[in-house]
């Protein structure tokens, strides 16, 4: 059942009944006093029409027919180190996907209501966009050069324990058997904050990720993957990028409150050591792979980048810090019927890029610990606290939430929302 698309006017109001998935009984759904900014016990919902017009989707051109990964290779439970979890397999490639849930940034040290909430939401698939656990590895001995793999494994005991804690959580166990999960990594489950290609823990983290989710088809240089479901006219492709394994370091400012700034554009005549053109967000192999995936036929593509793509102002991690790669990516997905999803920021938001072809992005972060007003700044309202970003549409969402995408194949539209609900 596709729920009705709502108008932007409803966004700032508490609107539980209309936005709650039909047939589900959420607490406080009729409570007139709920308010999302001040009381997370009350249900609120922020909905924005993505207005993704799928009429353009038929422009997709098949250039190469690439071998499709086998859906059965996901969650085979063949060699799991986490026998507590029995993941439900991803849908068969012939199945039509109507409802997608997505989220990020879930600390195993905090309450985990969203595994239950998303289970009740009954998505066809759940996309986990990184920071699926928080398990930063411990510092390595200073003389650990070249890197000693045994020392790295030992240093990453906290990351393994983080996965162990999640695996033993009853809500995670319950969800694992009911919701097909398709996941990628961000920095804290890659073992170190703001991880890039020089992350010494990346291969150990990749192995733990593989074991936790029982994945058999990872590339050797990261965790990027794609799947396609549905017949012609209802074909959904989901592409999960890896923006960490091969990423160049961002240009640092020295100010921890505003840590990064863009590398110089290639047109710059100074700062030769930071030319954007020489920096990489994705490896050459991942770029080639991505181009091949985008040449496959799809009626709607969902592309997950753990870090934000369209954000044009933030000093925190995002694609804008490597301008040449951001431009390459946006040009590549233009006219590809692609919706971008991202996490990482611990705030949610909707982004638009209207530059010939509209590209839209939904940032959903986090499940367990968004940044409330006043957490780091002396401010108390969206106008004072939120980034002044012309690419963003609406205020940041600062309550814990997950994202939902409802696809109406018949009418060629999709509706996205950031949902905040209580389950007790």
Q: What part of residues 278-307 is at the interface with Fe ion (CB under 5 A)?
A: none
Residue with Cβ nearer Fe ion (129 or 322): 129
Taking contact as CB under 5 A, which single stretch among the options 131-139, 227-235, 281-289, 375-383 is the one that binds Fe ion? 131-139
Query: Would you put residue 136 in left (φ > 0), alpha (ψ -120 to 50) or beta?
Result: beta
Three state DSSP letters for 157-178: HHHHHHHHHHHCCHHHHHHHCC
- Considering the rule CB under 5 A, would residue 189 count as an interface residue with Fe ion? no
Q: Are strands 251-252 and 236-240 parallel, antiparallel or unpaired?
A: unpaired
Q: How far is the CB of 364 from Fe ion (least distance, A)?
A: 11
**Of 211, 194, 183, residue with least CA distance to 84:** 211
Q: How far is the CB of 188 from Fe ion (least distance, A)?
A: 6
**Of 247, 215, 223, 360, residue with least CA distance to 301:** 360
- Considering the rule CB under 5 A, would residue 136 count as an interface residue with Fe ion? no
- Considering the rule CB under 5 A, would residue 361 count as an interface residue with Fe ion? no
**Of 249, 248, 235, 151, residue with least CA distance to 201:** 151
- Considering the rule CB under 5 A, would residue 137 count as an interface residue with Fe ion? no
The encoded tokens of residue 316 equal 């925190």
- Considering the rule CB under 5 A, would residue 133 count as an interface residue with Fe ion? no
Q: What part of residues 69-128 is at the interface with Fe ion (CB under 5 A)?
A: 105
Residue with Cβ nearer Fe ion (300 or 309): 309
Q: How far is the CB of 106 from Fe ion (least distance, A)?
A: 8
Size of the site for Fe ion (CB under 5 A): 2
Q: How many CB atoms are located within 10 Å of the residue 72 CB? A: 12
Cα separation of 156 and 192, whole Å?
A: 10
Taking contact as CB under 5 A, which single stretch among the options 41-49, 130-138, 231-239, 374-382 is the one that binds Fe ion? 130-138
- Considering the rule CB under 5 A, would residue 386 count as an interface residue with Fe ion? no
Residue with Cβ nearer Fe ion (105 or 205): 105
Helix (H) / strand (E) element for 100: namely: strand 99-103
Residue with Cβ nearer Fe ion (113 or 219): 113
Residue with Cβ nearer Fe ion (402 or 409): 402
Q: How far is the CB of 366 from Fe ion (least distance, A)?
A: 6
Q: Are strands 349-355 and 300-305 parallel, antiparallel or unpaired?
A: unpaired
Are residues 365 and 105 in contact, defined by beta-carbon separation less than 8 angstroms?
yes
Q: How far is the CB of 193 from Fe ion (least distance, A)?
A: 9
Residue with Cβ nearer Fe ion (112 or 415): 112
- Considering the rule CB under 5 A, would residue 330 count as an interface residue with Fe ion? no
**Of 325, 314, 313, 294, residue with least CA distance to 197:** 325
Sign of CA dihedral 43, 119, 135, 314: negative
Q: How far is the CB of 200 from Fe ion (least distance, A)?
A: 20
Residue with Cβ nearer Fe ion (275 or 371): 371
Q: How far is the CB of 1 from Fe ion (least distance, A)?
A: 32
Using the rule CB under 5 A, which residue among 124, 131, 160, 419 binds Fe ion?
131
Alpha helices in 262-403 (DSSP H): 284-294, 323-333, 382-385
- Considering the rule CB under 5 A, would residue 194 count as an interface residue with Fe ion? no
- Considering the rule CB under 5 A, would residue 156 count as an interface residue with Fe ion? no
Q: How far is the CB of 223 from Fe ion (least distance, A)?
A: 16
Q: How far is the CB of 26 from Fe ion (least distance, A)?
A: 26
Residue with Cβ nearer Fe ion (105 or 300): 105
Q: How many CB atoms are located within 10 Å of the residue 209 CB? A: 22
Cα separation of 106 and 366, whole Å?
A: 7
**Of 249, 124, 155, 266, residue with least CA distance to 195:** 249
Residue with Cβ nearer Fe ion (15 or 186): 186
- Considering the rule CB under 5 A, would residue 347 count as an interface residue with Fe ion? no
Q: How far is the CB of 63 from Fe ion (least distance, A)?
A: 36
**Of 21, 15, 23, 25, residue with least CA distance to 48:** 15
Q: Which residues in this chain contact Fe ion in the complex, by CB under 5 A?
A: 105, 131
């Amino acid at each position: 059942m596709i729920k009705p698309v709502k108008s932007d006017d409803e966004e700032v109001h508490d609107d539980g009944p209309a936005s709650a998935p039909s047939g589900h009984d959420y607490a406080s759904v009729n409570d007139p006093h709920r308010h999302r900014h001040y009381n997370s016990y009350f249900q609120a919902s922020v909905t924005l029409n993505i207005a993704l017009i799928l009429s353009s989707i038929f422009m997709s051109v098949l250039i190469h027919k690439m071998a499709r990964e086998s859906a059965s290779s996901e969650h085979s439970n063949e060699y799991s180190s986490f026998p507590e979890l029995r993941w439900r397999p991803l849908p068969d490639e012939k199945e039509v996907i109507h409802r997608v849930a997505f989220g990020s940034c879930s600390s195993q040290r905090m309450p985990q209501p969203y595994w239950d909430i998303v289970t009740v939401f009954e998505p066809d698939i759940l996309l986990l966009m990184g920071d699926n656990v928080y398990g930063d590895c411990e510092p390595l001995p200073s003389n650990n050069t070249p890197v000693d793999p045994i020392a790295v494994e030992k240093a990453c005991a906290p990351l393994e324990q983080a996965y162990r804690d999640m695996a033993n959580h009853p809500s995670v166990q319950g969800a694992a058997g009911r919701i097909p999960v398709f996941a990628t990594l961000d920095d804290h489950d890659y073992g170190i904050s703001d991880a890039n290609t020089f992350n010494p823990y990346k291969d150990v983290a990749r192995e733990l990720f593989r074991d936790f989710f029982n994945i058999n088809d990872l590339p050797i240089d990261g965790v990027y993957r794609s799947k396609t479901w549905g017949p012609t006219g209802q074909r959904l492709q989901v592409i999960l990028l890896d923006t960490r394994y091969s990423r160049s370091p961002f240009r640092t400012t020295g100010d921890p409150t505003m840590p990064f700034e863009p590398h110089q554009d290639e047109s710059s005549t100074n700062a030769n050591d930071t030319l954007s053109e020489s920096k990489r967000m994705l490896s050459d192999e991942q770029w080639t792979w991505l181009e091949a995936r985008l040449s496959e036929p799809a009626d709607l593509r969902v592309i997950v980048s753990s870090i934000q793509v369209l954000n044009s102002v933030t000093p925190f991690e995002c694609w804008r810090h490597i301008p040449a790669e951001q431009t390459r990516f946006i040009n590549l997905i233009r006219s590809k019927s692609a919706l971008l999803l991202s996490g990482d920021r611990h705030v949610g938001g909707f982004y638009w890029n209207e530059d010939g072809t509209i590209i839209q992005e939904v940032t959903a972060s986090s499940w367990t610990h968004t940044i409330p007003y006043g957490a780091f700044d002396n401010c108390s309202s969206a106008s004072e606290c939120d980034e002044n970003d012309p690419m963003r549409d609406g205020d940041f969402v600062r309550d814990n939430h997950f994202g939902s995408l409802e696809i109406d194949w018949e009418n060629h539209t999709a509706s996205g929302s950031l949902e905040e609900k209580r389950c007790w």
